[in-house]
Amino acid sequence: MRRRQLLAALLLAPLLALPAARAASLDDIRATGTLKVAVYRDFPPFSFVQGGELVGIDVELARAIGKKLALPVSFMTITPADDVDGDLRNAVWKGHYLGGGTADLMLHVPFDPELARRNDNAVLFGAYYREQLAWAGNKLPASVQQIDTQRVALENDSLGDLYLSALQGGRLRGQLQHYPDTSTACRAVADGRAEIAFGTRSELEWGLYGSQVQLGQPQLPGVIKPSWEIGMATKESLHDLAWAVGDALTELRSSGELAAIFQHYHASYRPADEH
């Protein structure tokens, strides 16, 4: 699902100063009796509806954190804005103009210093895994620059789409096949409509599960960050929640429960501090 927002999180774009939401504390959350967590909708394997139930890596992680804090979890599913700044505004500190309030905690936030600097109404913390660009196919070259006539399937407006569309002056644009999500792009490779699927490793692993298509790590010339940390966010006033969630996350990682959640959704767990 990572449309333009992962790339936008790394760009230097000013954010207008807007009034922060009402201050809160972990005690206030405990008084409500529920930890409200924001996750992205239609984003397998992290948060999506299956059999009428919200499931995924981020959903299970949120529930595991709630259990550590002795708080039941409710979910706020969000549709991506134009960038992560907009997602933080809508989900964490101000709320969407259509209403719905804000969440106490948001998952799947790029853990980037510049993003944190320009969003001072939110606290970015708790990096819980490392994501990276990858590709899949039955015969992969060493570098994306060596793509010849192969057709490349990818999610429309994703980070991979932006990168390959601009590579070598747009040489590959005519070979790119655009799909609504990475899972559909993976199916295009599995059934022979394309030779290569390109996207984030976790989404490729989910989309390729059960197929014989091979996953690979290409050389990506020109990419400053071929991998990046994914973490969480909360309101600037909720430092005590961030500390408590950070402690819970440390326990989940040490016990192996975090890795097991990833494994359950056919995604390899890569610690945030792994390069």
Note if the pTM is more than 0.75: yes
Closest CA to 110 of 232, 238, 240: 232
Q: What span, in angstroms and rounded, lies between the C-alpha atoms of 59 and 39?
A: 7
At residue 275 the predicted structure's pLDDT band, cuts being 50, 70 and 90, is low
pLDDT in tens, 108-129: 999 989 999 999 999 999 999 9
Q: Nearest CA to 184 among 166, 204, 163?
A: 204
Domains of the chain are: 5-130+228-264 (3.40.190.10), 132-216 (3.40.190.10)
- For 89-104, what is the mean pLDDT? 89
Number of alpha carbons in the 13 Å side-chain half-sphere of residue 32: 13
On whether the CB atoms of residues 107 and 232 are closer than 8 A, the answer is: yes
The CA-atom distances, in angstroms, between 207 and each of 54, 176, 185, 227, 267 are 18, 18, 8, 19, 10
Q: Judging by DSSP bridges, how do beta strands 105-110 and 35-40 pair with one another?
A: parallel
227-267, pLDDT tens digit by residue? Answer: 999 999 999 999 999 999 999 999 999 999 999 999 999 99
| pLDDT average, residue stretch 27-50 | 96
